[in-house]
Amino acid sequence: MTVFAALFSSDLFQISDFTTREAGARAPGLVTHSDFGLVRRGAYVCQMRGRAHVADPASGLIYHAGDEHHLTRAGPDGFDCTVFEPAAEVMDEAVIAGPLTTPLSVETQLAHARLYRAARDRADRLAIEETGMELLAGLAHDRMDLASVMPSARDEQRVAAARALIAADLAAPLGLSRVASEAACSPFHFARLFRAVTGRSLRDYRLRLRLAAALHRLEAGERDLTATALDLGFASHSHMTAAFRRCFGAPPGALRRALAH
């Protein structure tokens, strides 16, 4: 089942909710409007401009009007994605050149969560638009350091395969050898390659995905933090709480209350 629902529209940007429980590929299509795909749950691989690009909760994907895109792989349970479409003049002013995939900072991740919640709950227009501009500023800043980074298509393909493997089951006890095998290279080479392409270590990348998944559950109203922690691969409730404090500067309960308001 796939659902596309418009949540908010103004002269500055549009926000839509794209949800699918399908794991398979889709027929190629043409991008009609430039926008960002910001995943809240799950992950997918998209072919654009001859390269494989992974979208997950820690990495946004920018689509440019006129490009052909082909979703070739999604997680076993599909994914939930926010489609953030700034007006053309707003996009031109804010976004710099660079790779299509953008690793998201903690601040940008939280701005995405706040924007989705505000749009879904039909908050005040000014509040939604201001939060949207905060998100766009964060996306532009996150992309700034990537403007000169252009890894080879082969390297991106290898890293994309490994990222998809990690995102498919966040609680799986994966080792470096298993992940490197998915990328068809040695563990030593892959550890360096992954950091070069994503700017993060494998361990940090998986932690960010786990935290993003937990944040999504909190935004949806989840109250059983112990079950959430164990489902996502944390050793315990306290382990997840400590990770939240280090990453977001607040424990899960405080963030849940903040997102609710």
CATH number of the domain where residue 235 is located: 1.10.10.60
pTM for the whole structure: 0.71
pLDDT of residue 152: 79
pLDDT confidence of residue 208 = 92
pLDDT tens for residues 8-27? Answer: 999 999 999 999 988 777 87
- 168 and 39 within one domain: no
Kindly report the average pLDDT of the chain as a whole number. 87
**Residues 129-175: pLDDT tens digits?**
989 988 988 888 887 755 555 667 888 888 888 888 888 889 888 88
Q: Are residues 130 and 194 in the same domain?
A: no
pLDDT at 96: 62
Q: Pick the last residue of a domain from 120, 144, 168.
A: 144
Q: What is the pLDDT of residue 238?
A: 93
Per-residue DSSP letters for the chain?
-EEEEEEEE-SSEEEEEEEE---S----EE--S-EEEEEEEEEEEEEETTEEEEEBTTEEEEE-TT-EEEEEEEEEEEEEEEEEEE-HHHHHHHPPS--SEEEPPHHHHHHHHHHHHHHHTT--HHHHHHHHHHHHHHHHHHHHTTTT----HHHHHHHHHHHHHHHH-TTS---HHHHHHHTTS-HHHHHHHHHHHHSS-HHHHHHHHHHHHHHHHHHTT---HHHHHHHTT-SSHHHHHHHHHHHHSS-HHHHHHHHH-
Domain of 208? 153-260
